[in-house]
Structure formats: structure tokens, C-alpha cells
Amino acid sequence: MPELPEVEGVVQALKPEVEGRTIKQVQLSEIIRFSYDEGKQCIVKQAEPDAFEMALSQMTITKIERRAKYIFFHLMKEDVSYVLVSHLGMTGAWFIVNTPDEINEEKFKKHIHATFQMADGGYLIYSDIRRFGELRFLTKIEDHAPLTKMAPEPFDETACDYFIAKSMLPKYEKKAVKEVIMDGQVISGCGNIYATEALFAQKIHPARKMNRISEKRKRALFEAIVDVLRQSIDAGGSTISDYRNINGEAGSMQNRLQMYGKKLCPVCGTGTSQMTIGGRTSVYCPNCQH
């Protein structure tokens, strides 16, 4: 699943290509229409497909920004502001192309679900192989309550103190540290990959309870999370399976990962172990991490 660094890479690539341009029209895939009609999981949230297409037509994209793992497309039409919120789910990807046929990988071309034809030519395309992503059209961010409950950006000055305070709440103090740091209301944008890396860097067992970690060690863990997120942004993110940037490019952070997906610990050579925490597979070194 794309985490903060991967989403940041998409946003930085989209901004110069899309900001200031106007959407001529939008076309959703038949599978989206079928999913909506059947009441099944649908990429487009809280909107009937025809209404979604009509609402987005003639919208100008004024600004694109990232918040945690979300992409916010700020829009304007007839002097009224709106926002299209995109979450990439597990396999979502945005492409900027002259024609849909320019998408090189067949698996993405086969699963195009939203085609935005631009008024000045070309297309902004959303593809999603497993269809766990979201497209949510809002008049303002506050219209979708979960978006208002996200933790500060991890790079903000207040983020570490916020994390410390949250970790001491009854809701979190007896939970496994791995589960807590992947909670977007505690730390924004840290998912399975980077939680695994930060815990290994600090030699903390992923199942250790929050109330058994000192404040000093929590602060060091938070700094490790920030550090690995920054490293990944610089490397263009991690391409474990289906993450791609807007031109179909893969990231390279996967080549620097120390623990995620590893069979042997790079420090002591011990075989790694796995356990499920918060519904996700956690890889760790049973010798180094305590």
C-alpha cells in the first residue's frame, strides 16, 4: 500500500503537470457503475457515477497537496471551491498521458477507472488494479469527518509531542507499538513498511506495549520514523509490487530497506520472525528487537 513517501512523490509529480488546468469531462469505468448499482465496494464514494462525472466537468484544478496518505485536488468552478480527495488504497495510480494507450504496463491500462480529459488536451487517469482506492468529491474537507481527525504531519514541530501525548491515552497505552504508530490519528502517513523499518532501527519489538516504552525511547522512535520517511521521499518511495509514479516510474527505497520483507537480519544474521499485529504482517529480528 502506498504510504506517505509514495503519495508525496505522486503529488510532487502531479503539481507541475496539472495545477491550473481545467477538466473538460470525466468518464468512469463500467465496473464503477456496476459496483455502485450493486451496492458493492466502489472507488467513487458518496456520489452516483453520473453526478460525479457532471460535477467534475469544467472544474479547474487550482492546487494539489498531500495530507498523510491522501491527495487533495483543490478545484474551482464558477468562483466556488471544491476538493477531490484521492486515496490510493493498495494499487491506485495516477497517470498523465496524451492518450490512455501511453500507459505502458498492461495491468494498469486494463484497470483504468476514472479518465479526466483535460480542456487543453491530454488525460489525467486514475487506475486501480484491486479497487481499494477512493475518489471522494467534497465541498470542503470538513464534510468527511475522518479527514479532520488525522495526526499532524510527521515533519511538523508539534508532531512528536502530539505522538507522545496520544501514546499515553488509555486507548493506546496497552496496545502494541506497531499498531499504534500505524494509526493515522497518532502519526500521519506511517504504514507497515516504514513502521517495520523504524522499529528495527530502534531495536524495538513490534508487539511491545506502549506503556512499556519510555518517553525518551518513544521520541527516538518518532525521529526514526521521520528519518526513514525522508529517506524514502528522496528515493522516490518503495515499489514493492504495484506502486508507480505518474509516468509509470518505480521508486528505489525498496533497495534500502533493512527489515521489511527480509529473511535474515542484516545486523546479526538471525532468521527473521513474523507475527500479525493490527491485521498486518510484522517482520522483526527476534535477536535484535526487544
Second CATH level (architecture) for the domain 4-143: Alpha-Beta Barrel (3.20)
Our separate counts of H helices and E strands in the chain read 8, 11
Percentage of the chain modeled with pLDDT above 70: 94
> Confidence band (pLDDT; 50, 70, 90) for 252?
low
> Confidence band (pLDDT; 50, 70, 90) for 247?
low
User: How large is the average pLDDT for residues 86-99?
Assistant: 94
User: How large is the average pLDDT for residues 53-60?
Assistant: 98
For residue 236, the model assigns a pLDDT of 73
Nearest residue to 142 (alpha-carbon basis) of 71, 85, 62: 85
**Model confidence at 245: pLDDT above 80:** no
Catalytic positions: 2-3, 69, 280
> Confidence band (pLDDT; 50, 70, 90) for 250?
low
What is the pTM (predicted TM-score) of this model?
Answer: 0.92
For residue 254, the model assigns a pLDDT of 74
For residue 1, the model assigns a pLDDT of 65
For residue 144, the model assigns a pLDDT of 96
User: How large is the average pLDDT for residues 34-54?
Assistant: 94
User: How large is the average pLDDT for residues 100-124?
Assistant: 95
Is 230 in contact with 201 (CB distance < 8 Å)? no
Quote the cell numbers at residue 31.
465496473
> Confidence band (pLDDT; 50, 70, 90) for 104?
confident
β-strand partners of 80: 77
What's the chain's average pLDDT? 93
CATH 1.10.8.50 domain locations along the chain: 158-284
| Cα dihedral: 277, 42, 135, 47 (round 10) | -130
User: How large is the average pLDDT for residues 29-34?
Assistant: 96
Q: Any residues with CB less than 8 A from the CB of 15 and at least 6 apart, and which?
A: 64
**Model confidence at 66: pLDDT above 90:** yes
Q: Options 3.60.15.10, 2.115.10.20, 3.90.1170.40, 1.10.8.50; which CATH number does 158-284 get?
A: 1.10.8.50
Q: How many other CB atoms are found less than 10 A from the CB of residue 200?
A: 27
Pairing label, strands 44-45, 134-138: parallel
For residue 255, the model assigns a pLDDT of 78
CATH 3.20.190.10 domain locations along the chain: 4-143
pLDDT (tens digit per residue) in 149-163: 999 999 999 999 999
pLDDT (tens digit per residue) in 197-211: 999 999 999 999 999
**Model confidence at 242: pLDDT above 70:** no
CA distance 233 to 195: 15
